[in-house]
Amino acid sequence: MPDRPYIFCHMSISLDGKIMGRYMETEASEKAGQAFYRIAFGKDRFYQHQGWLSGRVTTDDNFTLYARPALIPGSPKVTAGDYVARKSDMYYVSIDPSGRLGWQDHVLHYHDTTADVLEVLTEKASNDYKAFLRRLGISYIVAGRDRYDYDQMLQKLKDEFGIQILMLGGGAVLNWSFIQKGYCDEVSLIVNPAADGSVKTQTLFMEREGLSDDTPVTFQLLDVQRTEGDGVWLRYKVNHDQ
């Protein structure tokens, strides 16, 4: 294992294990959502991370809203390698292997948290996309040819951006790909006292062909606490030696 950040997966789930859906519209879920935010982003937060990872779909659903990036075709060739636009205390580490996200700014706001966007690309991302990120002042790293080199990615996040503790923040596909490959140390779940029984929404962890499979992973319970609004905060250590 390389020298990488400590990684915890922090997620809010329904009683039936979903991470999206109509259960979120309930008052019960709203209260559990407050616990979710407090623990990872509140003034006296439990986790002292310097960034959180999000999958491309999560970013499109919540921040970039499926906007197309404003590319300039045939942009002048950018310098090869990574681009460090600025340093920050908090990064939104965006898993975007092909360079698809239509950012408008180099910062984003999540409730009262402000974070600098840091794009994690592979060599599949075009020169025009990298030039677009540079115009916006968005830092990026390149880790892997057409698939991520996880060791390289995590080492760069630690060495180039000083990320010692990293939150794995969903969605389902991203979470499972990291957990199954052994790149997650702890799972922190806020279980909402709400469910909707939907079969159309994502569950906490989902395999994706080419990224992960259904080989089981086991966990060791670290702590259980009741939260505001009848939620439960579960913390598990991921068993790596299986």
Ligand X SMILES: NC(=O)c1ccc[n+]([C@@H]2O[C@H](COP(=O)([O-])OP(=O)(O)OC[C@H]3O[C@@H](n4cnc5c(N)ncnc54)[C@H](OP(=O)(O)O)[C@@H]3O)[C@@H](O)[C@H]2O)c1
Residue from 19, 32, 93, 142 binding ligand X (CB under 6 A) = 19
- Minimum CB separation of residue 81 from ligand X in Å reads 20
131 torsion bin: left (phi>0), alpha (psi -120 to 50), beta (else): alpha
- When binding is defined by CB under 6 A, the residue of 9, 115, 174, 187 that contacts ligand X is 174
Does position 107 bind ligand X by CB under 6 A?
A: no
Tell me 54's DSSP state: E
Q: Are 47 and 188 in contact (CB under 8 A)?
A: yes
Q: For ligand X, which residue of 11, 39, 141, 179 counts as binding (CB under 6 A)?
A: 11
Query: Would you count residue 29 as binding ligand X (CB under 6 A)?
Result: no
Of 49-57, 78-86, 158-166, 218-226, the window that binds ligand X (rule: CB under 6 A) is 49-57
- Give the nearer residue to ligand X in terms of CB position, either 74 or 146: 146
Q: Residues 125-164: x/- map of binding to ligand X (CB under 6 A)?
A: -----------------------x----------------
Task: Kindly state the number of chain residues that form the binding site for ligand X, as judged by CB under 6 A.
Answer: 25
What distance, in Å, lies between the first and last C-alpha atoms of the chain? Answer: 15
Q: What angle do CA 171, 173, 176 make, to 5 degrees?
A: 105
Amino acid present at 186: E
Contact positions with ligand X (CB under 6 A) in 69-98: 95, 97-98
Should residue 202 be labelled a site residue for ligand X when binding is judged by CB under 6 A?
A: yes
Q: Is 211 in the site for ligand X (CB under 6 A)?
A: yes
How far, in Å, CA of 232 to CA of 39, rounded? 12
What lies within 8 Å, CB to CB, of 96 at 6+ separation is 56, 59, 119, 120, 121, 125
**Toward ligand X, which CB reaches closer, 116 or 119?**
119
Span interacting with ligand X, options 37-45, 158-166, 171-179, 232-240, rule CB under 6 A: 171-179
Report helix, strand or coil for 28. Answer: helix
Q: Using the rule CB under 6 A, which residue among 21, 49, 51, 58 binds ligand X?
A: 58
- 185 closest CA partner among 167, 211, 202: 167
Q: Would you put residue 230 in left (φ > 0), alpha (ψ -120 to 50) or beta?
A: left
Is there binding between residue 177 and ligand X (CB under 6 A)? yes
Distance CA 23, CA 191 (A): 12
Backbone CA torsion sign across 183, 98, 80, 135: negative
On the question of a cis peptide bond just before residue 162, with omega within 30 degrees of 0, the verdict is no
Q: Which residue in the set 21, 69, 169, 229 belongs to the binding site for ligand X (CB under 6 A)?
A: 169
CB 180 to ligand X: min, Å: 9
Task: List interacting residues with ligand X (CB under 6 A).
Answer: 11-12, 19-20, 55-58, 61-62, 95, 97-98, 100, 148, 169-174, 177, 202, 206, 211
